[in-house]
Amino acid sequence: MTAIPSLDVVDTDPLADARIRPLLERYCSLAGAEMLDLGPDLHELTLPPAERTHFRGRDSLRLAFSLDALALDPEAEIAVLGSPFLSQLIEAIRARAGRLSLGLIPPPVAADSQGAPTAPGPDVPVRDGTAQRGTARLAAHPIGRLVARVVLRAGAAVEEAVLESDVFDLSTGTRIGDELAGMFLDLEARRVRPAQPGAIRDAVLMPSRQPDELLQLLLGNLRDKSAERVTAQHAAAEGELATELERLDRYFASMIADKSDEEEARTITALHERRRTEEVRRHQVTAVVHPLQLVEATVLMQRIEWELQSARGRRARFVAQQPLVGAAAWTVACPRCGRPPAALVVCRHEHCACDVCSWRCSVCAEDFCADHGIAQCRVDEQPACEEHARVCQSCGMPHCTAHEGVCAEGEHPACSACLASCGSCGRIVCNLHARQSRPDAPKGSRRLCPACVRYCQGNTNEPVGLDEVTPCASCGKPVCVTHQGACVLDADVHCAKHLRRTDRSRRLVCERHRAQCAYEPEAVYASDELAPCVTCGKYACSVHSAECLEDKHPHCFTHLQPLLDTNGAYACEAHRKICHLDRQAFSLAGAAQCPVCGRDACARHRVACGHCGRSVCIADLAQQPRRCTTCRELAAITEPPDEVVTAARAATGGESRSPRAWRMARDRTHLVVELDLGSNGRTVFTLRPGETVPESVVTHSPQSKRRN
């Protein structure tokens, strides 16, 4: 048989034992197997050797058709839908025959009754057309029904059912009446014997419909019979789908919350959409149909054909028929739905249907049946023939060509309900390629095309318009007006990834204007908050650097020392003096060079020499007598140098008398000279090397000491 496509809706009956028994009886009649009755709902199936391969090599097996029977014989195999036995039985039936021909339903009279008079056909109006009656004749029509196994899946639920369609005329597609259907079932159950083929030698053998049309007819009947149960199954699947989608939304929302990288966020978003699509598809109610047998028979019919012609010149045939068995009346039925028609319509494909099964195209105004078009356009809910029917590539729903447009993104067609203009550039794009910005976006919620949509880096890839963003000055990625920040130094816009707040001032700075203190590398500073040390060149913050008191330049604390003689000021190595006695730092004015040793000493450690009057460090001053080391080492000389003589003349006021004695000593900075002036006392002066003018003069007399 031709493979049967999946159904949209199916029947489900998990304990349809009454449907398994006829299959088992049919298999026994086909394969020569025997079934013995062992008690209520308990049977033993004996298999011929050729059939044992279908049942795992067993020659017999016991079958229980109810739980009570299974309790009587626990070793028996349960015969219900979904059991292994049913799969084995279906495999055995399909291996035997996919098509079962029962023969001719016996006519109630002899062959000469084939010439019985016919009744006139019914008066059925033709919409926008005419009908011409043909001659009556005898014909042998094939009738039958389909037995199929259906596996139903919706989410995690899987159900199985064996379904049987109603009995149909396989030539005209009309449903057979109850009386004739009962005769068909009697013939199938072997309660009557088929007639000899010679009984219809004068009748025309009518061919069956094409396999595709026949399957659509029979599967449509199965769909109609099971619509109520499938609706309930669909409602249950929708509840499970809502729960699963809510779980997925929570899971992916938690994953994307901490992602600031655009590529990572897009990957997670794409995975989220793919998982949602998978769940929606998984919870759709679908069925896989496995045909078991097409059971058919032949019945003798009296038929009248009408030639139908539409106003557009389309032609079709319509048949009224009466089976020549039983007391069945004339059948006037729609070839498609099998119901009595109120009016006939000629399809544009030159076959007829009733007014219920056909529509008029809203585009070309031509009639068509349900197999060659759509009943409703998504936009205006009007019908359209297959020439003017389309399926939207965006929403997947049918629509007519009158409500079709072209998406500017990819130049593909889509329905007008899915097409709208971009809120930024005005291009027409479909829902598949458009993105909707959020209400809290700078310009509100808008539809955006792929060329205009941008994903703000400041709020987890929020979709915004091209006219709402400014590129980051560091990486070029877009940042919307609401979530953008500017560097305090260059005033340029930067994304959140390239902006940081400084640790102390809390100002926003970009990477280019971000700096690190050499003495606190883990802290973040703005570049204007650091300055290079003039001594070593390392950048240091205000906590780890200060200005030198003298040159006003910044220095790190490695090269600065606090000055003891100032109020918290610092000085670099070049602009400070260190007292050699206590090793403390002083300003340049706070310490002076000791003339004796040449080393710096602070005021606290300097004392005036009682002999020469100079300020010397206490390390070079003797307490008793209170003289510096140089004054204690004065030695007598007889021939003083000329510059000393000149300086002595200036120290004594230019007097012409000569000293009675000269004493002189030299230290680091001065030449100390003592003049013995006799009764006038002594004069001590200091003279720097190479000079002739004394730097200091001290006169000692017996009564007093005067310092000039």
Which of 80, 105, 131 is the C-terminal boundary of a domain? Answer: 80
Separation of alpha carbons 292 and 703, rounded Å: 150
Q: Is residue 33 part of a domain?
A: yes
Given a cut of 70, is residue 17 above it in pLDDT?
A: no
Q: Which whole number is the average pLDDT over 103-126?
A: 61
How much of the chain exceeds pLDDT 70, in percent?
A: 92
Q: Which residue has the tokens 């590398």?
A: 521
Higher pLDDT, 338 or 157: 157
Cβ-contact 365, 348 below 8 angstroms: no
Query: Do the domain assignments include residue 552?
Result: no
Is the backbone peptide bond immediately before 341 cis, with ω within 30 degrees of 0?
no
How high does pLDDT run on average in the chain?
82
The single-letter DSSP state of residue 200 is G
Tell me whether residue 362 is in a domain. no
Q: Which contacts qualify for 502-505: CB closer than 8 Å, 24 or more apart?
A: 502/526, 502/529, 504/529, 504/541, 505/529
Structural domain range at position 39? 17-80
As a whole number of angstroms, the distance between CA 256 and CA 642 comes to 97
Q: What would the mean pLDDT of 96-109 be, rounded to a whole number?
A: 75
H-run or E-run covering 463: strand 462-465
Domain-embedded: residue 28 = yes
Residues whose CB is less than 8 angstroms from the CB of residue 641 and which lie 6 or more positions away in sequence, other chains included: none
Q: Which of 249-263, 266-280, 452-466, 552-566 has the highest mean pLDDT?
A: 552-566
Chain segment 213-247, per-residue pLDDT in tens: 788 778 878 888 777 778 888 888 888 888 998 99
Q: What is the pLDDT of residues 42-60, one digit of tens each?
A: 888 888 887 777 787 788 8
Is pLDDT of 1 > 80? no
Is residue 74 included in any domain, yes or no? yes
- The answer to whether position 660 is within a domain reads yes
Beta bridge partners of 359: 368
Whether the pLDDT of residue 635 is over 70: the answer is: yes
Q: With pLDDT > 90 as the criterion, what percentage of the chain qualifies?
A: 17
Query: Does residue 338 sit in helix, strand or coil?
Result: coil
Given a cut of 90, whether residue 532 has pLDDT beyond it is yes
**485 near 499, Cβ under 8 Å?**
yes
Rounded to 5 degrees, φ, ψ at 607 are: -140, 145
Left (φ > 0), alpha (ψ -120 to 50) or beta: where does 654 sit? left
How far the first Cα of the chain sits from its last, in Å, is 139
Mean pLDDT, residues 31-39: 80
DSSP codes, 686-703:
EE-TT-SS-SEEEEE-SS
Query: For position 8, what pLDDT does the model report?
Result: 32
Could you give the number of structural domains in the chain? Answer: 2
Query: In the structure, what pLDDT confidence band is assigned to residue 665 with cuts at 50, 70 and 90?
Result: very high
Give dist(CA 480, CA 466) in Å, integer: 9
Single-letter residue type at 479: V
| Cβ–Cβ < 8 Å for 472, 495 | yes
The more confident residue out of 253 and 160 is 253
pLDDT bucket at 708, cuts 50 / 70 / 90: very low
48 located within any domain: yes
Q: Which among 80, 115, 132 is the end of a domain?
A: 80
Structure confidence at residue 153 as a pLDDT band (50, 70, 90):
confident
- 52-66, 309-323, 515-529, 631-645: the lowest-pLDDT one: 52-66
Whole-number pLDDT of residue 208: 84
pLDDT, tens only, 560-605: 999 998 888 999 998 999 999 999 999 998 899 999 998 999 989 9
Q: pLDDT tier at 673 (50, 70, 90 boundaries)?
A: very high
Q: What is the pLDDT of residues 417-443, one digit of tens each?
A: 999 999 889 899 998 888 888 888 888
Question: What is the CB neighbour count within 10 angstroms for residue 483?
Answer: 17
Burial category of 512 from C-beta neighbours within 10 Å (exposed 0-12, middle 13-18, buried 19 and up): middle
- pLDDT at residue 155 above 90? no
- Please state the pTM of the whole predicted model: 0.51
Pairing assessment for the beta strands 352-354 and 606-608 based on DSSP bridges: unpaired
- Give the pLDDT score at 14: 36
- Rounded CA gap, 571 and 555, in Å? 9
Which comes out higher in pLDDT, residue 610 or 3? Answer: 610
Lowest mean pLDDT among 33-42, 519-528, 609-618, 644-653: 33-42
Quick check: 444 pLDDT over 60? Answer: yes
Residue 639 inside a domain? The answer is: yes
Domain boundary among 65, 80, 95: 80
Reference 151, options 280, 12, 24, 23; nearest CA is 12
Residue 117 has pLDDT above 50, yes or no: no
**Which phi and psi (to 5°) does residue 159 adopt?**
-125, 155
The single residue listed with the structure tokens 């650091």 is 530
